[in-house]
Structure 1
Amino acid sequence: MNTLELVFFKLVSHEIELSEFESWVYSESRLEEILSSDDYLELISINYKTPSSLYEAQKILTSYFSMGKYYEWNIRNILQKIVEKPNDVHKYIEQCYNLYCEGFGFMDNLGLGYGLGITCSDYHNEKVDDYYPQILGEVDKVVEWLDSGKIVITGHSGEYHGIEYEDNRSVIEKEPTGYKI
């Protein structure tokens, strides 16, 4: 992944402030080489003080950067946080449920098996301890599917729950393990 992609991904995931992104836009000389002259002019002309500026910047840059790669990067970051188990790990486990609800069906074991339990609990830290080390096995499965190409995230159709991905897992790999229907 190159630096330009990483900054775009951090913008979309709200890991950098708009003011920081704005400064980067004005200082990053490679943008002018990568973007069309119209898109570059539009990007440097955005008023980054307005609420719509994030949407406007994303709209320009999504034709240059893969949203499928962004979603994969985001999922991998969340999974890495679960492995690292910081003090606020419960919020990353909850995000697995959100990802499942957004259309990432392959996140069902993590989302429904663990994330939903955290979402519905008032005792986040106590509940988290009950999930380890079993949750790490589910994290490993998702990472392996992404690494091996069994799950290939291609992007978003623009519709509600419009996540698009290729699911090349076997029938057995698709079976729920973290919850029972």
Structure 2
Amino acid sequence: MSEFELTIYKLILKEIEQGEFERWVYSEKKLGELLASDEYSELISLNYKTPSSLYEAGKILRNYINLGKCYEWYLKGILQKIVDHPCDAHTYIEQLYDLYCDGYYFLDNLGLGYGLAITVPHHKYKVERWCELNSQQQSALIDEFYPAVADEARKVIFWLESGKITFTGHSGEYQGIKYEDHRTAQDKEPTTYK
């Protein structure tokens, strides 16, 4: 993936600071060659001190990338973090519940089986939210998930890399993620929730 694509991915996914993006726009010499002249003029004329500038820049630049590849890159990054099991693994696991709710329905095993358990811990903990658990309880809950959650993450990475799940874009609406699902009935079976 090129630096151009990576920067636009970060822009669309709101993972880049306004100042960093502004510096990139003014220093990236290839932008003038890649964009139509009116779009390039509009991009460099944006007031990057206003909050809406990144949104406006995204509207211009999203036509120059494959949105499906953007969403795939983002999801694979989250899944790889879960496989790597960092100390803040709970944040990535919980994101999968949010993504499931946003329309990534093929994440049901991860989102409903694990992510929801972070969002709303099991009643045996007698709390309503993750932040109400003490550090020992948080560790115990995450330890219950591994290695199964990492195996599930690897399975989804495989689906993405093998084309069983292919992102085709986003409709711009809530739950507007679009993808093609070529998984088998066995792949779609619930493994961690019923």
Both structures adopt the same fold (TM-score exceeding 0.5) = yes
**Over alpha carbons, which structure has the higher Rg?**
2
2:186 maps to: 172
Supply the RMSD in Å over aligned alpha carbons.
1.1
TM-score by length of 2: 0.89
* 2-structure distance, mates of 1:156, 1:126: 37
1:135 maps onto 2:165 in alignment: no
* 2-structure distance, mates of 1:14, 1:131: 29
2:166 maps to: 152
User: Residue type of the partner of 1:151?
Assistant: I
Q: Structure 1, residues 108-133: CA drift from partner, whole Å, max 9, x if none? A: 10000000001113334331111000
* 2-structure distance, mates of 1:126, 1:120: 15
User: Residue type of the partner of 1:132?
Assistant: Y
TM-score by length of 1: 0.96
**Aligned partners of 2:12 and 2:62 also within 8 Å:** no
The alpha-carbon deviation at position 15 of structure 1 amounts to 2.8
User: Residue type of the partner of 1:144?
Assistant: F
**Aligned partners of 1:154 and 1:166 also within 8 Å:** yes
* 2-structure distance, mates of 1:50, 1:159: 24
The alpha-carbon deviation at position 178 of structure 1 amounts to 1.3
**Aligned partners of 1:11 and 1:18 also within 8 Å:** no
- Percent identity of paired positions between Structure 1 and Structure 2: 59
Q: Structure 1, residues 44-86: CA drift from partner, whole Å, max 9, x if none? A: 1111111111110110011111211111000000011111111
The alpha-carbon deviation at position 18 of structure 1 amounts to 0.8
Q: 1:162 aligns with which of 176, 188, 191?
A: 176
**Aligned partners of 2:83 and 2:154 also within 8 Å:** no
**Aligned partners of 1:90 and 1:125 also within 8 Å:** no
1:5 maps onto 2:19 in alignment: no
How many residue pairs were aligned?
A: 180
Q: Structure 1, residues 140-161: CA drift from partner, whole Å, max 9, x if none? A: 1101101110100000112221
The alpha-carbon deviation at position 89 of structure 1 amounts to 1.1
In structure 2, do the counterparts of structure 1 residues 46 and 120 end up closer, same or farther at CA, with 3 Å as the change threshold?
same
**Aligned partners of 2:83 and 2:151 also within 8 Å:** no
Which SS does the other structure have where 1:146 is aligned? helix
Misfit runs of 4+, over 4 Å: none
